[in-house]
């Protein structure tokens, strides 16, 4: 199956699950909460690439799990990603008026509702994780391990911790290890989580889990370098928020050709980590190649 057919099909599955999840809230919550659900839906359906849920499905399929059975975890990852973007755009952080070419959540709904929409998405991500039990495929202990890993990757030891270092960094001390530390936590941890959550739901050989981890870690850094390459080409690196300084970027410490060389090396390593799986790893290989060449 070509990557285009694979990704179109799986993204349709993900989108339809996400749309249904919103319909469920509309049916089960009081009408008085509609504004909150509107704001959650606005950002969830604003046209993201769905990279993380797609990676989660591809990882699940590479280890023999059905894509439908892991959709609640894929939705949880996208909920957390979406909350992080809503909060990152707020005046207290990046103060961005737009996201994906549309008004950012706080520009559309006001700051208070945007903060609450982010809070609700984060909290409801864990409700989504509990829905992994609905397929009756996974044991409670496996679901708990997946849930704990998601919390760990998005919290103090992962994305939020990375964001703290990002917003408090003194630009004078920017160095490659410091930039990588930020990116491993802020961006990389959620990409590693997308790859490793399925391994928590399966009985897997430890050596194979290490290979998946390596794929996630190298792809996470590669994704950030590709983001920094795109940003440096479009020259929109300044945060308007209180930080009032450029965001830490690989372009602070590397030339464009060094960044491209590092991107290729990381993608090659990611691909090598999973190629022993043969055909089953094709979607993971294709996603890595997409990150290598992406333009948005």
182 binds ligand GRG (CB under 6 A): no
Rank residues 172 and 295 by Cβ distance to ligand GRG and give the closer one: 295
Q: How far is CA 32 from CA 27, 28, 44, in A?
A: 12, 12, 20
Among 88, 147, 220, 259, binds ligand GRG (CB under 6 A): 88
Rounded-to-integer distance, Cα 209 and Cα 207, Å: 5
Q: Restricting to residues 26-55, name those near ligand GRG by CB under 6 A.
A: 48-49, 51
Q: Smallest distance, Å, CB 22 to ligand GRG? A: 17
Retrieve residue 131's tokens: 């829905």
96 binds ligand GRG (CB under 6 A): no
The answer to whether the Cα torsion of 282, 76, 190, 45 is positive or negative is positive
Rounded-to-integer distance, Cα 285 and Cα 59, Å: 11
First to last CA, the chain: 24
Q: Smallest distance, Å, CB 88 to ligand GRG? A: 4
Q: Which helix (H) or strand (E) holds 149?
A: helix 140-154
Burial of 262 (0-12, 13-18, 19+ CB in 10 A): middle
Number of residues that bind ligand GRG (CB under 6 A): 16
What would the x/- binding string for ligand GRG be over residues 199 to 238, using CB under 6 A? Answer: -------------------------x--x-----------
> Rounded to a whole number, what is the largest CA-CA distance in the chain?
55
Phi, psi angles (nearest 5°) of residue 253 = -125, 0
Query: By the 8 A CB rule, do 159 and 23 touch?
Result: no
What would the x/- binding string for ligand GRG be over residues 233 to 272, using CB under 6 A? Answer: ----------------------------------------
275 binds ligand GRG (CB under 6 A): no
Rg (the chain; Cα; Å):
19
- Please give the residue whose beta carbon sits closest to ligand GRG in the complex: 48
Choose the stretch contacting ligand GRG; rule: CB under 6 A; options: 18-26, 156-164, 201-209, 263-271.
Answer: 156-164
Choose the stretch contacting ligand GRG; rule: CB under 6 A; options: 37-45, 84-92, 138-146, 213-221.
Answer: 84-92
What is the binding site for ligand GRG (CB under 6 A)? Answer: 48-49, 51, 84-85, 87-88, 93, 100, 159-160, 163, 186-187, 224, 227
């Amino acid at each position: 199956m070509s990557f285009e057919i694979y990704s179109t099909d799986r993204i349709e599955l993900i989108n339809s699950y996400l749309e249904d999840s919103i319909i469920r809230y509309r049916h089960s919550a009081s009408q008085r909460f509609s504004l909150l659900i509107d704001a959650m839906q606005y950002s969830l359906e604003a046209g993201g690439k769905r990279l993380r849920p797609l990676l989660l499905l591809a990882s699940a399929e590479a280890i023999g799990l059905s894509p439908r059975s892991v959709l609640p975890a894929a939705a949880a990852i996208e909920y957390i990603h979406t909350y992080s973007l809503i909060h990152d755009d707020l005046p207290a952080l990046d103060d961005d008026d737009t996201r994906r070419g549309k008004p950012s959540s706080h520009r559309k709904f006001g700051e208070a509702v945007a903060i609450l929409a982010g809070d609700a998405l984060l909290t409801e991500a864990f409700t989504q994780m509990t829905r992994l039990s609905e397929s009756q495929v996974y044991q409670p202990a496996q679901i708990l391990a997946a849930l704990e890993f998601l919390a760990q990757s998005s919290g103090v030891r992962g994305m939020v911790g990375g964001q703290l270092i990002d917003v408090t960094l003194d630009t004078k001390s920017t160095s490659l290890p410091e930039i990588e530390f930020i990116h491993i936590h802020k961006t990389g941890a959620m990409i590693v989580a997308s790859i490793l959550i399925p391994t928590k739901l399966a009985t897997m050989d430890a050596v194979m889990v290490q290979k998946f981890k390596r794929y996630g870690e190298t792809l996470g850094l590669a994704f950030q370098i590709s983001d920094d390459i795109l940003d440096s080409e479009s020259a929109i690196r300044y945060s308007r928020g209180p930080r009032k300084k450029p965001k830490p970027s690989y372009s602070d410490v590397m030339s464009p050709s060094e960044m491209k060389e590092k991107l290729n090396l990381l993608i090659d390593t990611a691909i090598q980590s999973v190629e022993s799986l043969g055909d089953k790893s094709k979607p993971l290989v294709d996603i890595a190649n997409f990150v290598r060449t992406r333009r948005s």
